[in-house]
Each structure stands twice: as C-alpha cells, then as structure tokens.
A and B are shown apart, each in its own frame.
Chain A
Amino acid sequence: MTSSAEPPNEPFAESPDEPPAEPPTEHNGSGLQPERTLLAWQRTIALLVVVGLLFLRGSLVPGGDNVPEAPLVVRVATMAVLLVIGLVLGLHLWFRWRACEHGTRVPETGRPPLYLARPWAMAVLCAGVLALVGVLVLTVLLGL
C-alpha cells in the first residue's frame, strides 16, 4: 500500500504534475479573524432587524386583546429607525471591507485592519439597541 506515502497536507492540490500553490502567507495562523468579525457584524445586524420585526408584529394571536399592544405608529417608526441603522452599518462595513481589501491589508499600513468597523459604528449600534429598549419600556409604562 502506497496510499500512506502522501500525507493530506494539500487538500486543494488538483494534480501532482502542477507546481505547488503558493503558501497562504496572508492567513497563516490568523484564523481568518477579519472574516469572522465581518460575519459577527452581519449576525448582529440581522438580529437587530429580527427583533424589530418581532416588535412590529404585535400579538401572535390575531384579534386577541389579552396582549397589550403598542400603537402601530410607534412600531412602524421603530422598525424604520432600525432598518436605517442596519442599512448604515451594512454600507459602512461594506465600504470598510472593500477599503481593506477583504480584510487582508489596510492600504496605509499594509497590515490587516485593527478594527473592522469604526468606533462610531459601534456607538450607532448601541444607540439603536438602547432606543429599542427605551421604546419598549416607555410604551409599557405609559400604556399601563
């Protein structure tokens, strides 16, 4: 048996005749950190919109008046604000992702980026979540 003579070091090698591909120096040991951070941002934005949709939805049982409902205007306005925040953050991340060449290097430094999003984007995200908390608490307290 000669199958054990070739350890599976290069799973993407297509044929033994071709020259070996260049070693992935840019991602060596980095664990694709920028990509993981981008995906974390995407999950967060998606969850923000989903929670806004839940708030917009209102009672799960149609016609049931045993669930206190926030006014429709408040719910639609909240959803609109959250959508705008998600859009701004998504566009910001998209531009940042293109500017740093898919997370590999920032043009000024030649290194991977230290932040994916700027700190103001984090502040905007926090403000959006806090606004949702505020709307929820206020509608409940004023609706009592």
Chain B
Amino acid sequence: MGSETRPEDSRGAKRLVDYRFTLANERTFLAWIRTALAILAGAVAVLHLLPLDWAQVPRTAVGLVLAGLAGVITVYAPLRWYRVQKLMSRGEALKMSVLPVITTFAVGLVCALVLLGNLL
C-alpha cells in the first residue's frame, strides 16, 4: 500500500497532492460555474422573461452586463482551476483571486442601477 508515488491520475504533477485539495478545487470551479449560471438566469429573466416597465435601452444594458459578467466568470473559472492545480502540485502558496471583487462590484453596480432606475 502506498508504494506508488506517482499515480496515473495526477498528470503533470510534480508530487503527490492530497486528493481532498484537488477535489475541493474542482468543487470551487463548479461553484463558480453555478454562479455564472445564476447570473445568466438573471440576464435571461431581464431580457426575455419578465414584462418589465423599463425602456428598451436599460433593459438591454442590464441584461448584457449580466451576460458579460457570466461570460467573464466562465472563462476565468477553468483558468483559476488550472492555476491552483499547478500551484498545489508544486507545493507553493495560493495567490489571491481578483474575481470575487470583480463579481461583487459588477453585481452591486447592476443592483444600484436597477434601484436608481426604479426610484427616480
């Protein structure tokens, strides 16, 4: 038991990584994808589902911003997964990700726009 130090599954890994960490990395990737899908659902709702009393331009703008944010997250999530995977296999420290900040500000901006548009 434990004689193999380089299992088949860890291609490109310099050393054996604890499977709990790689699986947690995979779940983090999936959580980002679900975040993107939830934001995309918001975009679909604004653009195609709800009969809002908005003008065409703000409706399209809010929908496109949400869809674009979902696209950015979807592109970033696998890159982040790969980067973390490489850092873990080398045993280095993980770097901070800017994506939570971007997501927070973009969602906050959309909320503020919708709120202001409804109040004014």
Contacts and interface: CB of A to CB of B under 8 A. Distances in A.
A37 B9 contact: no
A113 B74 contact: no
Interface residues of A, number: 52
A125 interface: yes
Given A34-B23, A115-B26, A60 B50 contact: yes
Contacts of B38: 47
A58 B48 contact: yes
Interface of A: 30-31, 33-34, 36-37, 40-41, 43-44, 47-48, 50-51, 54-55, 57-61, 64, 66-70, 106, 108-117, 122-123, 125-126, 129-130, 132-134, 136-137, 140-141, 144
A33 B23 contact: yes
A113 B33 contact: no
16 contacts: A40-B30, A44-B34, A47-B34, A54-B49, A58-B48, A67-B51, A106-B7, A109-B9, A113-B23, A117-B26, A126-B75, A129-B36, A129-B37, A136-B40, A140-B47, A140-B60
Interface residues of B, number: 45
Given A129-B36, A136-B40, A114 B49 contact: no
A44 to B, nearest CB: 5
A130 B71 contact: yes
For the complex of A and B, list the 10 residue pairs with the smallest distance between their C-beta atoms, beginning with the closest. Answer: A109-B7, A114-B9, A133-B71, A40-B30, A33-B23, A129-B74, A108-B8, A114-B22, A40-B27, A112-B19
B44 A54 contact: yes
A54 B23 CA distance: 30
Contacts of B27: 36-37, 40
Given A33-B20, A44-B30, A44-B34, A136 B77 contact: no
A133 B44 CA distance: 10
A55 B44 contact: yes
Contact of A37 (B4, B23, B40, B48): B23
